[in-house]
Chain A
Amino acid sequence: MARITAGVTTSHVPAIGAALDNGRASEPYWQPVFAGFDFSKEWIAQQKPDVILLVYNDHATAFSLDIVPTFAIGTAASYQPADEGWGPRPVPVVEGHPELAAHIAQSVIQEDFDLTIVGKMDVDHGLTVPLSLMFGQPERWPVKVIPIAVNVVLYPVPSGRRCYALGQALRRAVESFDQDLNIQIWGTGGMSHQLQGPRAGLINRAWDQAWLDRLIDSPEELAKMPPIEYVREAGSEGIELVMWLVMRGAMDAKVNVRHRFYHVPASNTALGHLILENPT
């Protein structure tokens, strides 16, 4: 059967993609950011996952204000990197896994999670920057990806509790898939940051670190944190962290922490990164 073996979280700051794409990764500003992923690149080369369930948010790219799904799953064979206003990132096309994606949709919707099924969409920095951080700049991505998009742009956004429960349902869906696949789940976005208004630039290092501790050790309690606390403590865009709870819900209650990295700043943002493994 298919198994979720590991969970990864990382911020998905667009400037990180731009730094890599424009050959500025070794500049003093960016070098510490990429160094935080040196271990991760070695680790994932050994893990060789077949498929990544990549939980991210679309940043007004595939979803305009015409349609804003709270939760969506991509069932396409491939996804083009989007033109977000400066041309598409020069990264490989993202290959999907339509058969597993359809299986997950079938399973999860029958458990009362009303996923929107997306047969065609472009993917923005929210999905491609994490791939770049973990895999660098390959000719093609060495893994298939199932995009799972969570609305954290247009309020009200789904609660942490709902995201955590979705992760649990995703795990059950994966484990009922007959093919032998090594699957990882990634939660992306965060950590503290605010991109708008006079309060832009907010960073809350102490809160971020405590949040990481709780994500590892007591995620069910953490999932009860109301959205307003994210806004107040971690900035208006800090709410992206609820997507990390989807990842955590799909993992064992007790996990092994293989890697933990935190760095300020990446442009406007506190960058956080975890690698968690299921012991079983």
Chain B
Amino acid sequence: MALNKPYKDVPGTTIFDADMARIGYHLNQFCMSLMTAENRARFKADEAVFLAEWPMTADQREAVLARDYNRLISLGGNIYFLAKLFSTDGRSFQYTAASMTGMSQEAYAAMMLAGGRSPEGNRYIGEKQ
């Protein structure tokens, strides 16, 4: 029987549930490993070598190297785990969130100052028509 996942029709949003956690397990655990200065230094010295130590998929490795956060989330990454990766890069939550919206940093920051993204038209897929 299908499980109840009422959050599948929220636009532009991936809910990190047990299924996504299963798919993203090694990707997220790799991110956690960046919580020590030693591992951050090793990762920065040679990202591909460091990533090879983790049994991630080729897609997941590519997405890490590209810092493609929408793709990382579609491959089972979760934003709080991925935060260890962008923090290692010296990037903020706002920088990273903006990178996922297709907006420039400036436009995103201006949107937040103006009160943020409106929920109007953003509650259900297909609502904006």
Contact = CB atoms under 8 A, between A and B. Distances in A.
Interface stretch (B45-53, B57-65, B92-100): B92-100
Contacts of B29: 64-66
Interface in A27-64: 59-61, 64
Interface string A87-119: 100000000000000000000000000000000
A134 interface: no
Contact of B116 (A61, A66, A154, A264): A264
B83 interface: yes
A267 B112 CA distance: 8
A138 interface: no
B37 A83 contact: yes
A156 B37 contact: no
A203 B116 contact: yes
Interface in A235-280: 236-237, 264-265, 267-268, 270
Given A198-B70, A203-B115, A60 B108 contact: no
Q: Is the interface of B mostly helix, strand, loop or mixed?
A: helix
B26 to A, nearest CB: 9
Nearest to B90: A86
A237 to B, nearest CB: 8
Interface of B: 6-7, 10-18, 21, 24-25, 28-29, 31-32, 34-37, 40, 69-70, 73, 78-81, 83-88, 90, 92-94, 96-98, 100-102, 108, 111-113, 115-119, 122-124
Interface of A: 14-15, 18, 59-61, 64-66, 68, 82-87, 153-156, 192, 194-205, 207, 226, 228, 231-233, 236-237, 264-265, 267-268, 270
A195 B93 contact: yes
A233 B108 contact: no
